[in-house]
Structure 1
Amino acid sequence: MGHMGDVLAGIHSAWEFDTDSVLIRFERGIRTPKLFQVLRERRVPYAALAGVELSPGARRGTVALRVVLREGADPLLEAAAGQLRTGCDPYRLVLPAEREALADYYATELRGVLTPDAGHPADEHLVRAPEPPLQFKAYDGKAAFDGTTVSFRWFWTGASSAKWKAGDQFFDVSELEGVEWRSPEVLGGHLRLLRRAGEGRDVRPGEPDQDPAAVVFGLGYGLVHESLPLAAAVLAAVRSERGAEREQRAAGARGGSGARSAGAPGALRADPADIAERIRHLGRLHEAGLLTEEEFSVKKADLLAEL
């Protein structure tokens, strides 16, 4: 692939070519899309590539070099599900038209490093997700992810009564099946956590504004550059958790001891301080008349059972 360390600089980003990957570094100028500024850089292994495109740019006098990633190789694109505008595509390098010959050279070089699996979906994420902790303000609550737990804390001014009754929500990645991100740039934008079935858990999704496993976006809330990196990080953590479970099952099938029972000494337990705060929150809802005596008692018992 050319010479290691070669750099192709374009508008808003520069691509540095290594022996096994291309490192995309984004500018931090005021004209650079905010998503690029948040991402800062993306390292794309050649094993993650499905193809390369060279085409006229959207602006007159420019050309665009774009790498196409294999399905499932990048948690950011998987979470975005085709909703990113062309100008916010992190894998598209825009160059002045007079550099088209140079862009064509690198396009040819990139095609030369495509692997035999280029036409097939990736079995795992090959591009790293944005690093937690991450957080953003949606219209009806604040969403945060610390690497293991997603939290939704509701705002009095925006959350529905259904969400207030449910109380602030905390989801361990082990409870999740995936993520549903709908861009805030379209009507009905939201971030929904897709929960796994089992353990008596009701995972039937309702409307996002009524679903305690979702936060809704609005004008100026949950912007793309704030919400998409969090969605991608959660998705990557969920995929990693599923992969670890598969390895444990395989180890168990071979007679190994990789699986750990829920009652083992190393099992995770709820934070007592967090449980106490959530019970106090339920008490305030009860005093405000948003929870009946029975609802308050049931939810309090559920929280105490987590200790």
Structure 2
Amino acid sequence: MDELRGKTATWQFDEEKVVMQYSSRWRTHALLKALARCEVPLPAIAAVDFTSAGKKGWQLQLRLRERADPYAAVGPSLAEKGQPFLLTGGPDTELLAEYHADQLRIAADAARLVDGQRPPEEYALALVPPAPLRIRTSEGTAMFDGQTIRLEWSDVASSRKSKKRRMEYALADIQRIEWFPQGSMDEGYLRIVTWQEDADAKPAKPSKDFACLLTEDSAKQDAWTLVMAATVTAHLWAATPGPAGSTPAGNAELTAGPAADTRSIYDRIRELGRLHGEGLLTDEEFTSKKAELLDRL
């Protein structure tokens, strides 16, 4: 496998996936330490961005398909250093990084053509820890078994929560799960939003809300509540998948009417021919995918 070392991770990639091994050094963001390792299937990648910052080094970022990146969905405010699909490095490795970015872009384009009809939600599940997942914060614990998330509060929680002790939420009852990191003056928390919740009602204070688990004075707790939120989100997506083969974000195709669909299919066949000519698809892969596309005409 090809390998690229960055400041907080090492990426290895082949024709199927990108394997990210995150550093355990103290400067590494807590989320990356919590994940330790992540594998991104190439068909899940919508775009590969490479940016040079001169003497400050370079950035290589994977943009995943819509509903394939649960971390971005629940953590849009996540600091740059904590983004799991971003790699940075110094100016001495810029040429190597740019070369790998180009190769990775070509390989991802080819992989999407061959395997891009799979629901992106399947890739999201591959990016989160397997169930059951259990995390602990200063207020209590959260446990998710793939179907139900249970919150349990310790004696240090508010009297309202410590008397209640626990709450369970079935996946089918959950609309979404929210993550709020700790601020300079505020506690962070994980919050479950159910379908039964009144959209116009003002939520209870997190310290008294039975749908919340607080974090306090710990980047590690923030990281693990984000991992839990991303994991539940990935399972929610898988339970209510979008249309198979949905178009990658930022690569919209014309879909207005039969003529546009036909034109799109011929465009994909031409792209397959280009990739086959460059040796990125085998004869068998090219023939199989071409036949599949022609059957849709």
**Same fold per superposition (TM over 0.5):** yes
Preserved CA contact (<8 Å) 1:182 1:191: yes
- 1:45 aligns with 41
Amino acid aligned to 1:215: L
Q: Give distance in 1, aligned partners of 2:235 and 2:153.
A: 23
Does residue 93 of structure 1 match 2:87?
A: yes
User: Paired residue for 2:228?
Assistant: 230
Residue 87 of structure 1 and its aligned partner are, at CA, apart by: 0.9
Three-state SS of the structure 1 residue aligned to 2:227 is: helix
Which residue matches 2:215? 217
Among candidates 98, 103, 128, match of residue 104 of structure 1? 98
Report the CA distance between 1:169 and its aligned residue: 0.6
Per the alignment, residue 77 of structure 1 pairs with: 72
Indicate the residue corresponding to 2:17 in structure 1: 21
Contact 2:52 2:94 in 1 (8 A): no
Mapping for residues 138-177 of structure 1, pairs under 5 Å:
138-161=137-160, 163-164=161-162, 166-177=164-175
CA gap 1:11/1:196 in 2 versus in 1, 3 angstroms: same
- Say if 2:193 and 2:211, in contact at 8 Å, map to a contact too: yes
* Change in 2 beyond 3 A, CA 1:243/1:56: closer
Q: 1:61 to 1:220 in 2, by over 3 A?
A: closer
Counterpart check, 1:242 vs 2:237: no
| Structure 1 residues 51 and 185: CA distance shift in structure 2, 3 A | farther
Change (3 A) 1:30 1:138: closer
Structure 1 residue 70, shift from structure 2 partner? 2.3
Q: Secondary structure at the match of 1:124?
A: helix
Q: 2: distance between equivalents of 1:220 and 1:7? A: 33
Contact 2:44 2:120 in 1 (8 A): no
Using CA pairs under 8 Å that are at least 6 residues apart, name the structure with larger relative contact order, 1 or 2: 2
Contact 1:184 1:222 in 2 (8 A): no
3-state DSSP class of the match of 2:177?
Answer: strand
Question: 1:189–1:217: 8 Å Cα contact kept in structure 2?
Answer: yes
Aligned residues: 231
TM-score by structure 2 length? 0.67
Contact 1:63 1:97 in 2 (8 A): yes
Distance between the aligned counterparts of 1:138 and 1:205, measured in 2? 25
CA positional deviation for 1:19: 1.0
Match in the other structure for 2:177:
179
Unaligned runs of 5+ in 2: 244-297
1:36 aligns with 2:32: yes
CA contact (8 A) 1:13 1:27 kept: yes
Q: Quick check: which one's helix share is greater?
A: 2
Q: What is the rounded CA distance, in whole Å, between the counterparts of 1:175 and 1:184 in structure 2?
A: 27
Q: Which structure: larger Rg?
A: 1
Secondary structure of 1:37 counterpart:
helix
Equivalent AA in structure 2 for residue 225 of structure 1: A
Partner of 1:262: none
Cα offset, 1:223, TM superposition? 2.2
Shift of 1:8: 1.4
Structure 1 residues 183 and 98: CA distance shift in structure 2, 3 A: same
Structure 2 vs 1, CA of residues 139 and 210 (structure 1 numbering), >3 Å: closer, same or farther?
A: same
**1:71 partner SS:** coil
Contact 1:143/1:151 (<8 A) preserved: yes
CA contact under 8 A between 2:140 and 2:213: conserved in structure 1? yes
* Gapped regions of structure 1 (runs ≥ 5): 247-307
Letter in 1 for 2:167: Q
